Amino acid sequence: MDGRERVAVGWAATAVVWLVGILAAAPLVGGHPLAVAAQVVIEASPGTVATLAIETLGAAAQPALMVAIAVAAVAAAAGIAAFAEGYGTTRAQERYLATGVSVAVVVLTAAGFRAAADGVFWRWTLATALALLPPGLLRVASGGHRPSVGRRRTLRNLGGAVGLAAGGGVVARSLGRPATSSDGPQPGESLDAVVEKRAEGTTTPDSGRTVTTAATGEILESRSTTENVVVSVAEADADPVFGYGFAGMTPAVGTAADHYVVDKNVSNPSVDAERWSLSVGGAVRESYDLSFSELVTHPEARDMTVTTACISNSVGGNLISTAEWRAVPVRALLADAGVPDAAEDVVTRAADGYTEAIPWDVVSEREDVVLAVGMDGRTLPKEHGFPARLLIPGRYGMKSTKWVEDIEVSAGDHESYWEARGWVEEAVVNTLSYVRGVQRRGDRVAVGGVAYGGRRGIDGVEVSLDGGDTWADAELEAPPSPHAWRRFRHVAELPDSGPKDVVVRATDGTGALQTREETGAHPGGSTGWHSVTVSL
């Protein structure tokens, strides 16, 4: 290694120690500057970029972004050092550069921990100190900018710094944030328990619901295609009717655990339901606050089965789910506040800074525009918006604000989070039909899937096995609710095992055929017929 390389490696090692220190100190505040940086990048990037990342990387998009930022930080450290060394800088210039970089690192670390800590002073200052001490000492021990010490001592210094960071981690962990100090309602807790706690001030054990999945027959072989279709062969003497539950078929009503999750957050807001209250206000006659238990026991609370889909879902994609929710109509909540004639939008604001708006006309006409407080008979899981989130059946998921803190009537038009990033405002779902499973049983082959037309409903689904030349009507299961998708299947006599070009298309409740035109998700949701070529 020449001198320049040595300096670059020294700085890169310092950056690594800094990152290790940051992660070690993270338990103190329950978050870290890397996640904050990733969040800043996500919120600053155009919606199309964020969507592309979600589509290509899925749930790995956010961790991948954090890794990329970490790598960039290490590369920047090495780059700056090599650059300075290469220009034969004077001692004074070196000092300026080192001071500048140090100040930037201190500021970034402190600001990152402060943002992650929601501002609790001693936590973020201590986390900053713990994270900065090891790299700081490493620089001092290695003689500042020019490491003149031998390799063995360098390694020893490096080991010492990492050990120090680990020690800081132990301190951070022992002082770490308690998950929740509150004994109030927790995410995923039985709703009955919440109601009983309120009535008696006692806790009851959760009464879990069991979910049964339909029998599928003995599967001899099975594989998944890139189009999210499960292609399988079952025993020839399996039930020739197939039902709607064969391999690949989604349950008509899913559970909280298998519901898709999409949001802009690297780490989701933790809301203490005991301290939380819903504020209902804005341009209303009388604004008021509602506690979580008041919401759960609201006289108009009801169970609803609702399908939601993300507007960034691709044709055949998995960002669509159906679940049973407990929810209160938003118009009932607003009626108690009194809405004036001049009302235009109903704006929801969330704990993560997200906002959405729906016209008051829509809210006042529709009983199914609701604030959900439960899922599967339990309080909402954290990732689905605990303690309360909006649901607007027939609109894409982006309209359904999670972690709602206030509902506000506005007299003017309001620009929402994704709307500001170029997505359509109304976000009415496009009619869709997706193949989920293709299965052979002897000479018979079934094609099955789901179809959803939002509030228009689904009247028919057709299946083609020859790329769209000929079509057959599929059988349709009754939808689990007016707000949900319905499953379909078509069974054909098909002795030969050659490749089949399977295509499906739906007709909605207005009689309109699902459009064949293929469009991407941005800005109004994907369209086009789902097709897959299978051999079985």
Question: Which residues are near ligand MTE by CB under 6 A?
Answer: 259-265, 308, 310, 350, 352, 354, 384, 397-398, 400-403
Q: Among the candidate windows 134-142, 344-352, 389-397, 526-534, which touches Mo ion by CB under 5 A?
A: 389-397
Per-residue mark of binding to Mo ion, 260-289 (x: CB under 5 A): --x---------------------------
We find the least distance from the C-beta atom of residue 308 to Mo ion, in angstroms, to be: 9
User: Residue 302 binds which one of ligand MTE, Mo ion, none, with CB within 5 to 8 A depending on kind?
Assistant: none
CA-CA-CA-CA torsion sign (393, 399, 405, 406): negative
The length of the chain is 536
Query: What is the spatial distance between Cα 397 and Cα 454, in angstroms, rounded to a whole number?
Result: 12
Query: What is the spatial distance between Cα 133 and Cα 123, in angstroms, rounded to a whole number?
Result: 15
CB contact at 8 A, 336 and 385: no
We find the least distance from the C-beta atom of residue 228 to Mo ion, in angstroms, to be: 17
CA distance to 290, 291, 384, 502, per residue, from 273 (Å): 11, 8, 14, 48
Size of the site for Mo ion (CB under 5 A): 4
Nearer to ligand MTE, 54 or 191 (CB): 54
463 near Mo ion, judged by CB under 5 A:
no
Q: Closest Cα to residue 418, out of 408, 430, 426, 410?
A: 426
User: Residue 455 binds which one of ligand MTE, Mo ion, none, with CB within 5 to 8 A depending on kind?
Assistant: none
Query: Beta 444-452 vs 389-391: how paired, if at all?
Result: unpaired
Q: Please count the other Cβ atoms lying within 10 Å of the Cβ belonging to residue 313.
A: 23
Nearer to ligand MTE, 354 or 485 (CB): 354
Nearer to ligand MTE, 256 or 474 (CB): 256
User: Residue 261 binds which one of Mo ion, ligand MTE, none, with CB within 5 to 8 A depending on kind?
Assistant: ligand MTE
User: Residue 531 binds which one of Mo ion, ligand MTE, none, with CB within 5 to 8 A depending on kind?
Assistant: none
We find the least distance from the C-beta atom of residue 263 to Mo ion, in angstroms, to be: 8
> In 3-state terms, what secondary structure has residue 391?
strand
> In 3-state terms, what secondary structure has residue 326?
strand
CB contact at 8 A, 371 and 327: yes
We find the least distance from the C-beta atom of residue 263 to ligand MTE, in angstroms, to be: 3
Nearer to ligand MTE, 355 or 531 (CB): 355
The residue number whose beta carbon is nearest to ligand MTE equals 397
Phi, psi (degrees; rounded to nearest 5) at 508: -85, 180
User: Residue 354 binds which one of Mo ion, ligand MTE, none, with CB within 5 to 8 A depending on kind?
Assistant: ligand MTE
Query: What is the spatial distance between Cα 505 and Cα 447, in angstroms, rounded to a whole number?
Result: 12
Instruction: Provide the token pair at 427.
Output: 């976000």
Q: Which of 310, 343, 369, 532 binds Mo ion (CB under 5 A)?
A: 310
Instruction: Provide the token pair at 456.
Output: 């228009």
- Encode 77-104: b = buried (16+ Cβ within 10 Å), e = exposed: bbebbbebbeeeeeeeebeebbeebeee
Per-residue mark of binding to Mo ion, 396-415 (x: CB under 5 A): -xx-----------------
Interacting residues toward Mo ion by CB under 5 A: 262, 310, 397-398
